[in-house]
Protein backbone atom coordinates (compact mmCIF):
# COMPACT_ATOMS: atom_id res chain seq x y z
CA UNK A 1 0.00 0.00 0.00
CA UNK A 2 1.25 3.48 -0.86
CA UNK A 3 1.90 5.91 1.97
CA UNK A 4 1.32 9.66 1.60
CA UNK A 5 2.14 12.54 3.94
CA UNK A 6 0.40 15.91 4.11
CA UNK A 7 2.41 18.49 6.03
CA UNK A 8 0.04 21.16 7.35
CA UNK A 9 -3.72 20.93 7.46
CA UNK A 10 -5.31 24.15 6.30
CA UNK A 11 -7.47 24.71 3.24
CA UNK A 12 -4.95 23.22 0.79
CA UNK A 13 -4.22 20.18 2.95
CA UNK A 14 -7.90 19.44 3.48
CA UNK A 15 -8.80 19.67 -0.20
CA UNK A 16 -5.83 17.50 -1.12
CA UNK A 17 -6.96 14.78 1.28
CA UNK A 18 -10.53 15.01 0.03
CA UNK A 19 -9.36 14.81 -3.61
CA UNK A 20 -7.24 11.74 -2.85
CA UNK A 21 -10.26 9.93 -1.46
CA UNK A 22 -12.66 11.13 -4.15
CA UNK A 23 -10.25 9.75 -6.75
CA UNK A 24 -10.72 6.32 -5.20
CA UNK A 25 -7.17 6.17 -3.86
CA UNK A 26 -6.77 3.93 -0.82
CA UNK A 27 -3.26 5.03 0.15
CA UNK A 28 -2.49 5.40 3.84
CA UNK A 29 -2.32 9.13 4.55
CA UNK A 30 -0.56 10.74 7.52
CA UNK A 31 -1.54 14.35 8.18
CA UNK A 32 0.91 16.37 10.28
CA UNK A 33 -0.32 19.44 12.15
CA UNK A 34 1.35 21.68 14.71
CA UNK A 35 -2.02 22.11 16.44
CA UNK A 36 -4.91 19.84 17.36
CA UNK A 37 -7.35 22.01 15.43
CA UNK A 38 -9.22 21.20 12.21
CA UNK A 39 -8.66 23.47 9.18
CA UNK A 40 -9.85 27.02 9.71
CA UNK A 41 -10.33 30.03 7.45
CA UNK A 42 -8.01 32.87 8.60
CA UNK A 43 -10.41 35.46 7.17
CA UNK A 44 -13.08 34.28 9.61
CA UNK A 45 -10.96 34.94 12.69
CA UNK A 46 -11.91 38.62 12.78
CA UNK A 47 -15.61 37.70 12.70
CA UNK A 48 -15.12 35.49 15.76
CA UNK A 49 -13.15 38.22 17.54
CA UNK A 50 -15.93 40.69 16.78
CA UNK A 51 -18.53 38.34 18.27
CA UNK A 52 -20.27 37.84 14.92
CA UNK A 53 -19.34 34.17 14.59
CA UNK A 54 -19.21 31.35 17.16
CA UNK A 55 -15.89 29.65 17.78
CA UNK A 56 -16.97 26.59 15.77
CA UNK A 57 -17.81 28.83 12.82
CA UNK A 58 -14.12 29.30 12.01
CA UNK A 59 -13.86 25.60 11.04
CA UNK A 60 -15.82 25.09 7.81
CA UNK A 61 -15.05 21.36 7.37
CA UNK A 62 -16.04 20.13 10.81
CA UNK A 63 -13.99 18.62 13.61
CA UNK A 64 -10.87 16.49 13.18
CA UNK A 65 -12.84 13.46 14.35
CA UNK A 66 -15.49 14.06 11.71
CA UNK A 67 -12.90 14.62 8.99
CA UNK A 68 -10.94 11.51 9.98
CA UNK A 69 -14.09 9.39 9.82
CA UNK A 70 -15.12 10.87 6.50
CA UNK A 71 -11.74 10.81 4.73
CA UNK A 72 -9.85 8.02 6.50
CA UNK A 73 -6.53 9.54 7.52
CA UNK A 74 -4.22 9.39 10.52
CA UNK A 75 -3.73 12.77 12.16
CA UNK A 76 -0.41 13.40 13.88
CA UNK A 77 -1.33 16.51 15.87
CA UNK A 78 0.57 18.90 18.11
CA UNK A 79 3.64 17.87 16.15
CA UNK A 80 6.03 20.10 14.27
CA UNK A 81 7.74 18.74 11.18
CA UNK A 82 11.37 19.84 11.30
CA UNK A 83 12.55 18.38 8.01
CA UNK A 84 11.28 16.97 4.75
CA UNK A 85 14.08 15.18 2.92
CA UNK A 86 12.91 15.56 -0.66
CA UNK A 87 15.52 13.19 -2.05
CA UNK A 88 14.81 10.36 0.38
CA UNK A 89 11.12 11.32 0.70
CA UNK A 90 11.15 11.16 4.47
CA UNK A 91 9.46 13.33 7.08
CA UNK A 92 11.16 14.02 10.41
CA UNK A 93 9.08 15.37 13.28
CA UNK A 94 10.17 17.20 16.42
CA UNK A 95 9.62 14.04 18.44
CA UNK A 96 12.48 12.43 16.51
CA UNK A 97 10.37 10.11 14.39
CA UNK A 98 11.47 9.84 10.76
CA UNK A 99 9.00 8.17 8.40
CA UNK A 100 9.35 7.30 4.68
CA UNK A 101 6.59 8.10 2.17
CA UNK A 102 5.87 7.49 -1.48
CA UNK A 103 4.51 11.01 -1.99
CA UNK A 104 4.57 14.12 0.17
CA UNK A 105 2.49 17.30 0.04
CA UNK A 106 3.88 20.41 1.75
CA UNK A 107 0.91 22.62 2.68
CA UNK A 108 2.46 24.57 5.53
CA UNK A 109 0.83 27.88 4.64
CA UNK A 110 2.24 31.19 5.80
CA UNK A 111 3.03 32.78 9.13
CA UNK A 112 2.48 36.33 10.35
CA UNK A 113 5.54 38.54 9.99
CA UNK A 114 6.55 40.42 13.14
CA UNK A 115 9.35 42.98 12.65
CA UNK A 116 12.29 42.67 15.00
CA UNK A 117 11.49 45.98 16.68
CA UNK A 118 8.22 44.46 17.95
CA UNK A 119 9.50 40.99 18.81
CA UNK A 120 9.98 41.69 22.54
CA UNK A 121 6.55 43.21 23.17
CA UNK A 122 4.29 41.16 25.45
CA UNK A 123 0.95 42.87 24.96
CA UNK A 124 0.96 43.27 21.18
CA UNK A 125 -1.61 41.36 19.15
CA UNK A 126 -1.58 39.79 15.68
CA UNK A 127 -4.47 38.48 13.63
CA UNK A 128 -3.72 35.33 11.65
CA UNK A 129 -4.38 32.16 13.60
CA UNK A 130 -7.18 30.86 15.81
CA UNK A 131 -4.94 31.45 18.82
CA UNK A 132 -4.48 35.07 17.72
CA UNK A 133 -8.24 35.50 17.43
CA UNK A 134 -8.90 33.98 20.84
CA UNK A 135 -6.22 36.14 22.45
CA UNK A 136 -7.68 39.38 21.07
CA UNK A 137 -11.27 38.24 21.69
CA UNK A 138 -10.52 37.57 25.35
CA UNK A 139 -8.60 40.83 25.75
CA UNK A 140 -11.54 42.83 24.38
CA UNK A 141 -13.92 40.97 26.69
CA UNK A 142 -11.76 41.77 29.72
CA UNK A 143 -11.15 45.44 29.05
CA UNK A 144 -12.63 48.42 27.24
CA UNK A 145 -9.99 49.92 24.95
CA UNK A 146 -10.36 53.56 23.99
CA UNK A 147 -7.60 53.76 21.38
CA UNK A 148 -5.78 51.39 19.03
CA UNK A 149 -2.99 51.53 16.47
CA UNK A 150 -3.20 48.95 13.71
CA UNK A 151 0.04 48.47 11.80
CA UNK A 152 -0.73 47.16 8.32
CA UNK A 153 -3.56 48.62 6.21
CA UNK A 154 -4.34 45.28 4.60
CA UNK A 155 -7.56 43.33 4.08
CA UNK A 156 -7.10 41.85 7.55
CA UNK A 157 -6.01 45.18 9.04
CA UNK A 158 -9.19 46.92 7.90
CA UNK A 159 -11.35 44.16 9.41
CA UNK A 160 -9.56 44.60 12.74
CA UNK A 161 -10.11 48.35 12.40
CA UNK A 162 -13.81 47.71 11.78
CA UNK A 163 -14.35 45.53 14.84
CA UNK A 164 -12.54 48.03 17.09
CA UNK A 165 -14.30 51.05 15.56
CA UNK A 166 -17.65 49.39 16.14
CA UNK A 167 -16.73 49.02 19.83
CA UNK A 168 -16.20 52.79 20.12
CA UNK A 169 -12.42 52.61 19.95
CA UNK A 170 -10.47 55.41 18.27
CA UNK A 171 -8.48 53.75 15.50
CA UNK A 172 -5.26 54.76 13.75
CA UNK A 173 -4.21 52.80 10.65
CA UNK A 174 -0.48 52.86 9.89
CA UNK A 175 1.43 51.47 6.93
CA UNK A 176 4.69 52.06 5.09
CA UNK A 177 2.76 52.00 1.82
CA UNK A 178 1.50 55.33 0.47
CA UNK A 179 -2.15 54.26 0.51
CA UNK A 180 -4.59 51.75 1.92
CA UNK A 181 -4.75 48.40 0.07
CA UNK A 182 -1.56 49.28 -1.78
CA UNK A 183 -1.28 45.83 -3.38
CA UNK A 184 -4.83 45.77 -4.70
CA UNK A 185 -6.28 49.27 -5.14
CA UNK A 186 -5.54 51.95 -7.70
CA UNK A 187 -4.42 55.22 -6.06
CA UNK A 188 -7.65 57.02 -6.92
CA UNK A 189 -9.73 54.27 -5.32
CA UNK A 190 -7.47 54.18 -2.27
CA UNK A 191 -7.99 57.91 -1.83
CA UNK A 192 -11.76 57.51 -2.04
CA UNK A 193 -11.69 54.85 0.68
CA UNK A 194 -9.36 56.94 2.83
CA UNK A 195 -11.67 59.95 2.58
CA UNK A 196 -14.58 57.86 3.79
CA UNK A 197 -12.50 56.57 6.71
CA UNK A 198 -11.47 60.12 7.68
CA UNK A 199 -15.13 61.15 7.72
CA UNK A 200 -15.71 58.33 10.23
CA UNK A 201 -12.95 59.67 12.46
CA UNK A 202 -10.34 57.01 11.67
CA UNK A 203 -6.80 58.40 11.55
CA UNK A 204 -4.23 57.18 9.00
CA UNK A 205 -0.45 57.30 8.85
CA UNK A 206 0.78 56.18 5.44
CA UNK A 207 4.18 56.29 3.78
CA UNK A 208 6.01 56.04 7.10
CA UNK A 209 7.71 53.16 8.88
CA UNK A 210 7.03 52.38 12.52
CA UNK A 211 10.41 52.96 14.15
CA UNK A 212 9.54 51.14 17.35
CA UNK A 213 7.19 50.84 20.29
CA UNK A 214 7.43 50.87 24.07
CA UNK A 215 4.95 49.17 26.36
CA UNK A 216 3.74 50.59 29.67
CA UNK A 217 2.80 48.33 32.56
CA UNK A 218 1.06 48.67 35.91
CA UNK A 219 2.39 47.50 39.25
CA UNK A 220 1.33 43.93 38.53
CA UNK A 221 3.17 43.85 35.21
CA UNK A 222 0.02 44.11 33.07
CA UNK A 223 0.42 46.04 29.84
CA UNK A 224 -1.67 49.21 30.05
CA UNK A 225 -0.66 50.96 26.87
CA UNK A 226 2.00 51.59 24.28
CA UNK A 227 4.00 54.46 22.82
CA UNK A 228 4.41 54.05 19.05
CA UNK A 229 7.22 55.93 17.34
CA UNK A 230 6.78 56.93 13.69
CA UNK A 231 9.90 57.26 11.52
CA UNK A 232 9.19 60.96 10.86
CA UNK A 233 9.37 61.70 14.59
CA UNK A 234 5.71 61.58 15.46
CA UNK A 235 4.62 59.72 18.57
CA UNK A 236 1.26 58.04 19.11
CA UNK A 237 0.05 56.99 22.55
CA UNK A 238 -2.33 54.06 22.38
CA UNK A 239 -3.89 51.46 24.65
CA UNK A 240 -3.85 48.67 22.05
CA UNK A 241 -1.35 47.73 19.32
CA UNK A 242 -2.26 45.20 16.61
CA UNK A 243 0.19 44.02 13.94
CA UNK A 244 -0.98 42.93 10.49
CA UNK A 245 2.27 43.66 8.67
CA UNK A 246 2.01 40.70 6.33
CA UNK A 247 2.91 37.04 6.05
CA UNK A 248 5.85 34.94 4.96
CA UNK A 249 5.57 31.56 3.23
CA UNK A 250 6.45 28.74 5.62
CA UNK A 251 9.07 26.89 3.58
CA UNK A 252 11.57 26.00 6.31
CA UNK A 253 10.86 22.25 6.31
CA UNK A 254 12.49 21.93 2.87
CA UNK A 255 16.14 22.25 1.89
CA UNK A 256 16.65 24.80 -0.94
CA UNK A 257 19.46 22.61 -2.20
CA UNK A 258 16.88 19.87 -2.89
CA UNK A 259 13.82 21.88 -3.93
CA UNK A 260 13.51 25.15 -5.84
CA UNK A 261 12.39 27.85 -3.42
CA UNK A 262 12.07 31.57 -4.11
CA UNK A 263 9.58 33.56 -2.03
CA UNK A 264 7.65 30.32 -1.88
CA UNK A 265 8.05 26.73 -3.06
CA UNK A 266 7.99 26.79 -6.86
CA UNK A 267 5.49 24.38 -8.44
CA UNK A 268 4.26 23.54 -11.93
CA UNK A 269 0.65 23.27 -13.10
CA UNK A 270 0.39 19.82 -11.47
CA UNK A 271 1.55 21.32 -8.15
CA UNK A 272 4.75 19.30 -8.39
CA UNK A 273 7.94 20.77 -6.94
CA UNK A 274 11.32 20.32 -8.59
CA UNK A 275 11.75 17.11 -6.52
CA UNK A 276 9.91 14.03 -7.85
CA UNK A 277 7.12 12.85 -5.58
CA UNK A 278 7.03 16.08 -3.56
CA UNK A 279 4.14 18.50 -4.05
CA UNK A 280 3.23 21.88 -2.58
CA UNK A 281 -0.02 23.82 -2.39
CA UNK A 282 -1.50 26.87 -0.69
CA UNK A 283 0.17 29.95 0.76
CA UNK A 284 3.58 28.26 1.02
CA UNK A 285 3.95 27.87 -2.74
CA UNK A 286 4.16 30.02 -5.83
CA UNK A 287 2.31 28.86 -8.92
CA UNK A 288 1.49 30.50 -12.22
CA UNK A 289 0.11 34.03 -12.33
CA UNK A 290 -2.05 34.15 -15.46
CA UNK A 291 -1.24 37.82 -16.05
CA UNK A 292 2.52 37.75 -15.71
CA UNK A 293 3.16 34.16 -16.78
CA UNK A 294 5.51 33.89 -13.82
CA UNK A 295 5.17 31.95 -10.60
CA UNK A 296 3.89 33.95 -7.65
CA UNK A 297 2.34 33.41 -4.24
CA UNK A 298 -1.38 34.19 -4.49
CA UNK A 299 -2.42 33.76 -0.89
CA UNK A 300 -6.18 33.36 -1.16
CA UNK A 301 -8.48 30.79 0.41
CA UNK A 302 -10.12 29.74 -2.86
CA UNK A 303 -6.77 29.49 -4.62
CA UNK A 304 -5.43 27.21 -1.88
CA UNK A 305 -8.45 24.98 -2.33
CA UNK A 306 -7.88 24.64 -6.08
CA UNK A 307 -4.18 23.94 -5.61
CA UNK A 308 -4.88 21.36 -2.91
CA UNK A 309 -7.39 19.52 -5.09
CA UNK A 310 -5.00 19.42 -8.05
CA UNK A 311 -2.14 18.21 -5.85
CA UNK A 312 -4.33 15.51 -4.29
CA UNK A 313 -5.57 14.22 -7.64
CA UNK A 314 -2.05 13.99 -9.01
CA UNK A 315 -0.83 12.22 -5.88
CA UNK A 316 -3.69 9.75 -6.38
CA UNK A 317 -2.61 9.13 -9.97
CA UNK A 318 -5.44 11.08 -11.62
CA UNK A 319 -3.85 13.67 -13.88
CA UNK A 320 -5.02 17.23 -13.28
CA UNK A 321 -3.68 20.74 -13.81
CA UNK A 322 -4.27 24.28 -12.58
CA UNK A 323 -3.11 26.72 -15.24
CA UNK A 324 -2.95 29.56 -12.71
CA UNK A 325 -4.89 32.35 -11.13
CA UNK A 326 -4.98 36.12 -10.90
CA UNK A 327 -4.49 38.47 -7.99
CA UNK A 328 -7.89 39.34 -6.56
CA UNK A 329 -9.37 40.59 -3.30
CA UNK A 330 -12.97 40.96 -2.19
CA UNK A 331 -13.75 42.42 1.21
CA UNK A 332 -16.63 44.08 3.06
CA UNK A 333 -15.87 46.54 5.84
CA UNK A 334 -17.52 49.51 7.56
CA UNK A 335 -20.51 49.38 5.19
CA UNK A 336 -18.23 49.40 2.14
CA UNK A 337 -17.34 46.78 -0.44
CA UNK A 338 -13.97 46.77 -2.19
CA UNK A 339 -13.06 44.40 -5.00
CA UNK A 340 -9.67 44.38 -6.69
CA UNK A 341 -9.19 42.13 -9.73
CA UNK A 342 -5.87 41.80 -11.51
CA UNK A 343 -2.43 43.30 -10.94
CA UNK A 344 -2.82 46.96 -9.97
CA UNK A 345 0.78 47.67 -11.06
CA UNK A 346 -0.13 47.19 -14.74
CA UNK A 347 -0.70 50.46 -16.55
CA UNK A 348 -2.81 51.42 -19.56
CA UNK A 349 -5.85 53.48 -20.47
CA UNK A 350 -8.05 54.20 -17.46
CA UNK A 351 -11.82 54.04 -17.78
CA UNK A 352 -14.32 54.92 -15.09
CA UNK A 353 -17.96 54.00 -14.83
CA UNK A 354 -19.99 55.08 -11.84
CA UNK A 355 -23.63 55.02 -11.00
CA UNK A 356 -24.86 57.39 -8.30
CA UNK A 357 -28.28 55.74 -8.49
CA UNK A 358 -26.86 52.26 -7.99
CA UNK A 359 -24.20 53.55 -5.60
CA UNK A 360 -20.99 52.18 -7.00
CA UNK A 361 -17.71 53.17 -8.66
CA UNK A 362 -15.77 51.06 -11.17
CA UNK A 363 -12.28 51.76 -12.49
CA UNK A 364 -10.84 49.65 -15.29
CA UNK A 365 -7.35 49.64 -16.76
CA UNK A 366 -7.17 48.56 -20.42
CA UNK A 367 -3.98 47.65 -22.25
CA UNK A 368 -3.85 46.77 -25.96
CA UNK A 369 -7.63 46.88 -26.09
CA UNK A 370 -8.10 44.35 -23.28
CA UNK A 371 -8.87 44.86 -19.59
CA UNK A 372 -6.01 44.01 -17.21
CA UNK A 373 -7.57 45.07 -13.93
CA UNK A 374 -10.69 46.26 -12.13
CA UNK A 375 -11.35 48.15 -8.91
CA UNK A 376 -14.94 48.17 -7.71
CA UNK A 377 -16.44 50.06 -4.80
CA UNK A 378 -19.81 49.06 -3.34
CA UNK A 379 -20.94 46.59 -5.99
CA UNK A 380 -19.79 43.06 -5.20
CA UNK A 381 -22.58 41.74 -7.43
CA UNK A 382 -20.57 42.33 -10.62
CA UNK A 383 -17.28 40.96 -9.27
CA UNK A 384 -17.82 37.34 -10.30
CA UNK A 385 -18.74 38.27 -13.87
CA UNK A 386 -15.81 40.63 -14.28
CA UNK A 387 -13.34 38.19 -12.74
CA UNK A 388 -14.49 35.42 -15.08
CA UNK A 389 -14.27 37.86 -18.00
CA UNK A 390 -10.70 38.87 -17.11
CA UNK A 391 -9.60 35.24 -16.81
CA UNK A 392 -11.15 34.42 -20.21
CA UNK A 393 -9.26 37.32 -21.76
CA UNK A 394 -5.99 36.10 -20.25
CA UNK A 395 -6.62 32.58 -21.50
CA UNK A 396 -7.33 33.85 -24.99
CA UNK A 397 -10.91 32.64 -24.90
CA UNK A 398 -13.85 34.49 -26.52
CA UNK A 399 -14.43 37.56 -24.40
CA UNK A 400 -18.11 38.21 -25.05
CA UNK A 401 -20.53 38.39 -22.16
CA UNK A 402 -23.51 36.06 -22.32
CA UNK A 403 -26.93 37.75 -22.61
CA UNK A 404 -27.56 36.86 -18.95
CA UNK A 405 -24.26 38.37 -17.82
CA UNK A 406 -24.84 41.52 -19.90
CA UNK A 407 -28.30 41.87 -18.43
CA UNK A 408 -26.98 41.51 -14.89
CA UNK A 409 -24.24 44.11 -15.49
CA UNK A 410 -26.84 46.55 -16.82
CA UNK A 411 -29.13 45.89 -13.84
CA UNK A 412 -26.25 46.65 -11.49
CA UNK A 413 -25.75 49.99 -13.22
CA UNK A 414 -23.01 49.54 -15.85
CA UNK A 415 -23.41 51.58 -19.00
CA UNK A 416 -23.91 49.46 -22.14
CA UNK A 417 -21.23 51.40 -24.01
CA UNK A 418 -18.80 50.59 -21.20
CA UNK A 419 -19.73 46.91 -21.44
CA UNK A 420 -19.09 47.07 -25.19
CA UNK A 421 -15.66 48.50 -24.51
CA UNK A 422 -14.82 45.66 -22.12
CA UNK A 423 -15.57 43.33 -25.03
CA UNK A 424 -13.18 45.40 -27.20
CA UNK A 425 -16.01 46.57 -29.44
CA UNK A 426 -15.48 49.96 -31.09
CA UNK A 427 -17.83 52.88 -30.66
CA UNK A 428 -17.81 56.61 -31.24
Rounded mean pLDDT, 262-278: 97
What CATH architecture does domain 116-243 belong to? 3-Layer(bba) Sandwich (3.50)
Give the pLDDT score at 396: 85
> Do 146 and 170 form a contact (C-beta atoms < 8 A)?
yes
Rounded mean pLDDT, 400-405: 90
Residue 220 or residue 409, greater confidence: 409
Give the pLDDT score at 394: 87
pLDDT band at 353 (very low <50, low <70, confident <90, very high): confident
Q: What is the pLDDT of residues 83-128, one digit of tens each?
A: 999 999 999 999 999 999 999 999 999 998 877 667 778 888 988 8
Q: Which CATH superfamily is domain 3-111+247-315 in?
A: FAD/NAD(P)-binding domain (3.50.50.60)
Give percent above pLDDT 70 in the chain: 98
Q: What is the pLDDT of residues 36-60, one digit of tens each?
A: 999 999 989 999 999 999 999 999 9
Residue ranges per structural domain of the chain: 3-111+247-315, 116-243, 328-422
Q: Which residues contact 366 (CB under 8 A, 6 or more apart)?
A: 348, 349, 350, 351, 372, 421
Give percent above pLDDT 90 in the chain: 72
Report the chain's mean pLDDT, rounded to a whole number: 92
Q: What is the pLDDT of residues 193-217, one digit of tens each?
A: 999 999 999 999 999 988 889 999 8
pTM: 0.92
Report the alpha-carbon distance of residue 241 to residue 150 in Å, rounded. 6
DSSP-derived pairing of the beta strands 240-243 and 81-85: unpaired
- Which residues is 164 bridged to in the sheet? none
pLDDT band at 427 (very low <50, low <70, confident <90, very high): very low
Give the pLDDT score at 14: 98
Q: Domain spanning 328-422 has what CATH number?
A: 3.30.390.30
Do 3-111+247-315 and 116-243 fold alike per CATH?
Answer: yes
Give the pLDDT score at 428: 33
Residue 22 pLDDT greater than 90, yes or no: yes
pLDDT band at 425 (very low <50, low <70, confident <90, very high): low
Amino acid sequence: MERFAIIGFGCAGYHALEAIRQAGCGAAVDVYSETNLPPYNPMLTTYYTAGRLPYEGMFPFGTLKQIAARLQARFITDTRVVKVDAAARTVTADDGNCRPYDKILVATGATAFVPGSFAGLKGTFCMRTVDDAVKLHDALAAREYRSAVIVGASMVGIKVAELLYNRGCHVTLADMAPHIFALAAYPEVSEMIEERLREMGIDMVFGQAIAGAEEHTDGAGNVTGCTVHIADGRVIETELLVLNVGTRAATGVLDPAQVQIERGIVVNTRMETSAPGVYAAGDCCQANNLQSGQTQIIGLWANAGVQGRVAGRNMAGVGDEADGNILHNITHFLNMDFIGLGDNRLTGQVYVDQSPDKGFYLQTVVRDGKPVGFNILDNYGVSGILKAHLIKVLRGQPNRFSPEQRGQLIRYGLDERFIDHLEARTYD
